[in-house]
Chains A and B, each alone.
Chain A
């Protein structure tokens, strides 16, 4: 079984459109949406939820007002400014470190487990999808990502799937590290802009830091051909192969509005290019395993 993750560094480069297209193309696979913060893959895959579970993670301090003497020690010790003047806890600021509960001289502070989100196993017209929704203003997105990946792997093992295709999250922090750890190949989708190059560079460095093989695709490459060349030059220097380029194509927007993958929507050039990218990715991910 191979795990392939699609990431971008910068948001809005077309990561989910490409992940969705791979869902249409791969024969034996489980999909995992690890963009738990602002998930979009379900808009293309239209899941029918089969299993729904709470995601419990992290702790929040709760002050028992009957016991609290108002000594102020918790407020003085808290590094996250989570203790308000009236000795209640600002649950959004509280990091759940439990320092206050240990330090409180009258044991007035209890730590309560958070329900930080939900995760789902669903059926789609392309097979199983494991996805999640992080609660508003919650942290620990990395942990929810790790959980989604674990469940995707279990699901894939049950049906002996050939691939797990993962929609990663933007950025380079916690959630991204959890999305890419241990995958067979990371595909970076970028766009021909200085920001796209800057962000791709940072996320490629993260992938290399964790020793993950990386490939790159330039989406909307014709919006700035010079910049596309710069990205290709950067990739040559960094030893990252560019396995495809896709034009700016209004059909891609239309397919999204229609709730379809580009493969289903059109037989045009973009579809052909995405198919070619998928084939190259298949080759790379099987070859890299023996490198």
Chain B
């Protein structure tokens, strides 16, 4: 099963990026094999609609859950429609977040955690 963690760097020791739509990297990790790939976010500097575009991007990758700091309303709606679980309020290192997810310590949210344009500035 694959999860996606928004990250400020491309390693498992990198810090989690609190933004979803404009995070620096998406780290896509396999919870069983512990393999991962770091994908630079193509929408990081997008001038508008970054949450939607990132949501659409994630939906193409067969991902079970997104672990991040915050998601806005548009990104939440997109991920939700794509059947991806959204877990917000996650901070610290990417590696630890994956472990906590495996331990079942997170609950998915049922709505956006921030208003629109949160990650713009």
Contacts and interface: CB of A to CB of B under 8 A. Distances in A.
Interface of A: 3, 57, 140, 143, 146, 149-150, 152-153, 177-178, 181-182, 210-211
A150 B116 contact: no
A182 B19 CA distance: 12
B48 A210 contact: no
7 contacts: A57-B47, A143-B48, A150-B121, A181-B117, A181-B120, A182-B120, A210-B115
A60 to B, nearest CB: 15
B121 A181 contact: yes
Given A146-B121, A149-B120, 20 more contacts: A3-B121, A143-B48, A146-B47, A146-B117, A146-B120, A149-B121, A152-B121, A177-B117, A178-B121, A181-B116, A181-B117, A181-B118, A181-B120, A182-B114, A182-B115, A182-B117, A182-B119, A182-B121, A210-B116, A211-B115
A239 B114 CA distance: 22
A52 B8 CA distance: 27
Interface in B64-121: 114-121
B121 A153 contact: yes
Nearest to B117: A181
Contacts of A178: 117, 120-121
Contacts of A210: 115-117
Interface string B44-73: 000110000000000000000000000000
A146 B121 CA distance: 6
Contacts of B117: 146, 177-178, 181-182, 210
Contacts of B115: 181-182, 210-211
Contacts of B121: 3, 146, 149-150, 152-153, 178, 181-182
Nearest to B121: A149
B53 to A, nearest CB: 15
A143 B117 CA distance: 11
Contacts of B120: 146, 149-150, 178, 181-182
B48 to A, nearest CB: 7
Nearest to A142: B48
A150 B120 CA distance: 7
B118 A182 contact: yes
A3 B117 CA distance: 15
A124 B47 CA distance: 28
A121 to B, nearest CB: 15
A7 to B, nearest CB: 15
Nearest to B48: A143
A178 B48 CA distance: 11
Closest 6 CB pairs between A and B? A149-B121, A181-B117, A143-B47, A146-B120, A150-B121, A182-B118
A234 B98 CA distance: 50
A140 B47 CA distance: 10
Contacts of B48: 143
Contacts of B116: 181, 210
Contacts of B114: 182
Contacts of B119: 182
B107 to A, nearest CB: 23
Nearest to B119: A182
